[in-house]
Each structure stands twice: as structure tokens, then as C-alpha cells.
Amino acid sequence: MSNQIWYHVDVNAAFLSWTAAREVHIKGSGVDLRRMAAVIGGSEKDRHGIVLAKSDRAKAFGIKTGESLVEARNKCPGLIIVPPDYELYVSCSRGLIRLLETYCPYVHQYSIDEAFCCMSGTETLFGSPVVFARQLKDEIRETLGFTVNIGVSDQKLLAKMASGFEKPDKVHTLFREEIQKKLWPLPVNRLFWVGRAAAGKLRNLGIRTIGQLANADLELLKVHLKKHGEYIWHYANGRDPSPFLRQLPENKGYGNSMTVPFDVRDAHRARQVILSLTETVCARLRADHMKASCVSISITDREFGRSSAQKTLYSETDATLEIYHQACSVFESLWDGSPIRQLGVHTGRVVSHAPYQYNLLGTDCNEKFTKLDAAADAIRKNTGRTPDAGVIFKESPSSYGRRN
């Protein structure tokens, strides 16, 4: 075992868990969505959108993240569909990160519902890293009202793989000496960055398990999967030469990215993902009383090709629909039609609330968009919840400090 100790903390069915925890612990509902055939993913009234999160009972019907609500309803006619609440998700995510920062010297938030924690050198404070991971997992459940999986390893990649083992509410280890026993027997599609298309190509090569991939001929993989094949061959062997799990330089802006569990092949589906990301980004801007005047889009395709572009806005704004429309414009000029595995929406040139510069030469919808956002924020505030609400679900005697 190396001197490095990493945790990967992953919220179980995050959007659904956070919604369920609010209903149970704040509103006192006797109905827990986590125990029902339920998904997060659009309006019950108009039946649009995609599945963003699913319960275990919904999963039992064959419902998958990323499929349309129409497909999900066909599999389970009595499916409960709850629309997303991105400000709730931002608030819950912040609560989780604050709790982790109470114990962890270094926290790298990888996405809204997962984070890496470097625990190296904390053994003298907390004892066994595995035993403490179980204590931390239990505190998250008791304090915040939702469950997480924690993967424990001597490197980030293996910690992330470990957190994806049996769920929910579990701690798993995957140290380098455990790779052959725990990782190699798994189906190849369980490996980080191996999606349906890559798994299909590997199956055509006779590669069905991660162990078979680890022992495959690298040059053959590069012929069929190019750079992607090289990366996943290293992943299967417990090495991570890629940039995808690294901490990005500190950004003077707000952004969010999503690795989608399916290949995005059409603009309509891509815009749905962009809207989800923009909702989260703008909720953070408004919660921090900031506005942005630059929007950028980043795309990683199925072959690990990466591209990005940005656009300067006419004026600083925190309006969800305005930033969404501009993000879509950037996306349409950037995307070459290649299947997408990861999308990111980022904002820059942020300032604290500034007056909006109206465009007198064209139709300006900022005021309308701002009113819509203000109405949504007011509804949430009247329910007793704000985007910056420290402890989200249950009171903790000692967990949270002030946000910097």
C-alpha cells in the first residue's frame, strides 16, 4: 500500500436522494421516493425530458439514466416522475463539501455529487482509513439525510472505481494489490470511460472483462479505439495517465460538467444536458450574488477528443435562460457531430451584482428572464430553504463552518 490515501465520495442517486431527503426530513412526508419506482427527469404534465436519476425500484424495470421519459414510462406505466430542482442540488452539494472539508485536508469536487478527498497523513488523527470512511459515511447519512458510497484506495482512479461497487451506503477498497481480485473479473463496461460504443468494439475483439482488457495487446487497441484505447488499457491496469480526474486550476468563474452515461448524438439531447448544467451554474451565481459576462462550452467526444469555445455576452447576467441560449449558440458553432461523452458549461468574467447593460438595438429578454428566476427563487425561499442553507436536512452539532 502506498503512502497516498484517497477517498472517492459518491452520492447514491444524488438528484433523487436529495429530493427524497427534503420531502422526508423537511416536509415530513411519509413517502420516500427512494423506496418507490421513481425518477428525476422532467415534468409530469408535459412528459418531456430525460431520466437524470432513478431509484433502485425504477432500475429493476430496466430504466436507465439518459433515456427519454417516454421510454421510461413504457417500461413502468406507474412511474413517478419528479422535475429537477437545481438550487436544491447546489445547496445539498455544498453541505456535503463542507462536511468533508471538516475532516479532509484536501477536497477536490469532481462533480456536483462526487468528490475526491486526500486523506494522506490523517491516520494519526482518525485511525484506520477504512474504519474512518465508514464513520464518515454514517455521519453523512445521519447529518444530511442521504447516503453515499466511499471508495478507498492509494490513487484517485481506483478510489472512483471502488465507490461504484455494490450500492447504496457502502465503503469499498480497491488498492493496487487488489486489482486482479476485485477489478479484473468485472464486465468491461464497468471501467471508467468505457461506454456502450467502446464496450461494443471491445466485445468484437473478444474482450469482455476488465482483466481481458488489461492483458490485451495495446497496439491492437490503439488501432480500433485510437487514444481512447490507450487510456482505458492503462485504467484496466490501475494506471491513470489521462487528465480527466485531475484538479483543474482555480477558475475565476462558475462551471459544471457532466459525463453522460450514453453517447449524445443529436443536438436536441445535447441541449437538454446543457440546460441541466446551466441551471446548476446559474443557481450558484445567484446564490453568491455574482454575474458573468462570458459563457464557454467544452466537449469531450467518444474518442477523447476535446474542444471548447466561448462567447462574450453583451452584459453581465445571472439569468438562466439567457446564459442557456448563449451556451446553445456556442455549442452549435463548436460541435462537429461526433458522439459526445462529456459536456461542460462554464462562465467567466464574473463580478458582484452589476447593472444590466440593455441592448437598445434589439429585443432584450433579460428582464423577463430575471423575473422568472426571481419568482423561482422566491418560491424556494418561502418554503424555508435557500441555496446557501448550511445544514440541509438535519441539525449537526459540529459539522459546518462559514463558506469562504
Amino acid 1: pLDDT: 43
Average pLDDT on 187-201 reads 92
**Sheet of 148-153, strands arranged across:** 106-111, 114-118, 6-11, 148-153, 171-173
* Top-confidence residue, 181 or 369: 181
pTM score, whole prediction: 0.77
pLDDT digits (tens, 9 = 90+) for 89-137: 988 999 999 999 999 999 998 888 999 999 999 999 999 999 999 999 9
Residue among 114, 279, 316, 322 flagged as catalytic: 114
Query: Can you read off the three cell numbers belonging to residue 125?
Result: 488523527
Average pLDDT on 301-320 reads 87
Sign, Cα dihedral of 45, 51, 53, 54: positive
CA 120 – CA 97 distance, rounded (Å): 18
CA 287 – CA 377 distance, rounded (Å): 10
Amino acid 357: pLDDT: 53
Q: Is the pLDDT at 40 greater than 90, yes or no?
A: yes
Collapsed DSSP state (helix, strand, coil) of residue 80: strand
Residue 114 annotated in active site:
yes
CB proximity list for 55: less than 8 A, separation 6 or greater: 13, 16, 33, 34, 35, 36, 37, 38, 39
Computed over every residue of the chain, the mean pLDDT equals 85
CATH number belonging to domain 186-236 = 1.10.150.20
Query: Which residues belong to CATH 1.10.150.20 in the chain?
Result: 186-236
Amino acid 246: pLDDT: 77
Tell me the one-letter amino acid at 201. Answer: K
Query: Which residues belong to CATH 3.30.70.270 in the chain?
Result: 1-183
pLDDT digits (tens, 9 = 90+) for 342-374: 899 999 888 875 555 554 434 455 566 666 666
Tell me the one-letter amino acid at 342. Answer: Q
Question: Which one-letter DSSP state was computed for residue 155?
Answer: S
pLDDT digits (tens, 9 = 90+) for 379-392: 545 544 433 333 33
CA 63 – CA 77 distance, rounded (Å): 12
Q: Which residue has the cell 466561448?
A: 310
Tell me if the domain spanning 254-382 has CATH number 3.10.129.10.
no
CATH class given for the domain over 1-183: alpha beta
Helix (H) or strand (E) holding 200: helix 196-204
Q: Residue 191 — very low, low, confident or very high, per pLDDT cuts 50/70/90?
A: very high
Chain mean position to CA 256: 8
Query: Can you read off the three cell numbers belonging to residue 241?
Result: 495517465
Least reliable range by pLDDT among 153-162, 200-209, 241-250, 255-264: 241-250
Amino acid 209: pLDDT: 98
Query: Which residues belong to CATH 3.30.1490.100 in the chain?
Result: 254-382
Average pLDDT on 148-152 reads 98
